[in-house]
Amino acid sequence: MAKRVINLLFFIFLLVFANAQVNDWENLEITQINAEKAHASYIPFERLNWEDNVLDHSPLVQILNGNWKFLYFENPGLIPPNIHLETNTSDWDNIRVPGNWQLQGDGK
C-alpha cells in the first residue's frame, strides 16, 4: 500500500513539474508571436505595361536604401524615452542599408 502511495505521489510530482511554464524563447513549439502572416507584396506602378515600370523611378514607391544614422544600446532599458525626437545625431554612427549593423562595426 505504501509503495502505491509513493508511486502515486511521484507520478503527480512529475505531472506538475513536467508542465512548468517555459519562456517563449525556450519553447520550440512557438515560432512566431504577433507576426503578420506571410503574403505577397503589392507594388504600385503608374503604368500597366510591365516593361516600362522601373521600381526606383516610381513616385509611388520609396526606396529605403542608403546611409542611415545608427546608435547602439547595450539593452532596451538604456534607450531614452523620447529618442524619436532627437535632432542632434552627429555622434551617431552611419550604417549602409541594406546591410548588417553587426558587420559594420556596431554592437561590439
Domain ranges of the chain: 2-104
Q: What is the mean pLDDT of residues 80-87?
A: 88
Note the pLDDT of residue 66. 93
Note the pLDDT of residue 56. 74
- The percentage of the chain sitting over the pLDDT mark of 70, rounded to a whole number, equals 85
When comparing pLDDT for 38 and 85, which is higher?
85
Q: What is the DSSP string of 21-34?
A: ---GGG-TT---SS
Q: What is the mean pLDDT of residues 40-63?
A: 75
What band does 8 get if pLDDT is binned at 50, 70 and 90?
A: confident
Phi, psi at 48, each rounded to 5°: -80, -25
Note the pLDDT of residue 32. 83
Q: What is the mean pLDDT of residues 83-96?
A: 90
Q: Mean pLDDT of all residues in the chain?
A: 80
Q: With 60 as the cut, is the pLDDT of residue 108 above it?
A: no
Note the pLDDT of residue 68. 92
